[in-house]
Amino acid sequence: MYRPIRERFEAGADVSGGAYVAAWRRLEAARKTWAARMAEFDAVICPTVPNLPPQVDRLMEDGDYYVTENLLTLRNTRVGNLMGLAAITLPAGQPSCGICLMGTAMGEARLLRIAAAAERALA
């Protein structure tokens, strides 16, 4: 396993059970807040990633560069992961550029219909 990823997993050993439960409760509260605030919208739209692909050789050799590029690459989609949302990316006609649509948790069927309509509108 790639060392920086393995280290992230291994860091979980330092988290107490109480801290884990407390963090999970905060996440559940954040998910409820997100769902309430986004309820009137069909989807959240954003660029899938805010950057171009990083330099692979530098990623492997420069730990600081890896951390910076990794966090930047995941920045826009991380909210969908944390909130447990359905998400889809549509190509935008530019290299390394996509349009991300995030719907509701367990809302894949509806999000696919929204994505198909967006794809037709953007064609």
pLDDT of 65 above 90: yes
> What's the CA gap between 70 and 64, in Å, rounded?
10
| pLDDT per residue as tens digits for the range 13-45 | 999 999 999 999 999 999 999 999 999 999 999
Q: Read off φ and ψ for residue 31, nearest 5 degrees.
A: -65, -40
> What's the CA gap between 59 and 113, in Å, rounded?
37
What's the mean pLDDT when you consider all of the chain?
93
CB 59, CB 65: distance < 8 Å: yes
- Note the pLDDT of residue 24: 97
- Note the pLDDT of residue 26: 98
pLDDT grade, residue 52 (50/70/90)? confident
Residue/partner pairs of 34-39 with CB below 8 Å, 24 or more apart: 34/79, 34/83, 35/83, 35/104, 35/105, 38/104
C-alpha separations of 68 from 71, 97, 107 in Å = 5, 19, 32
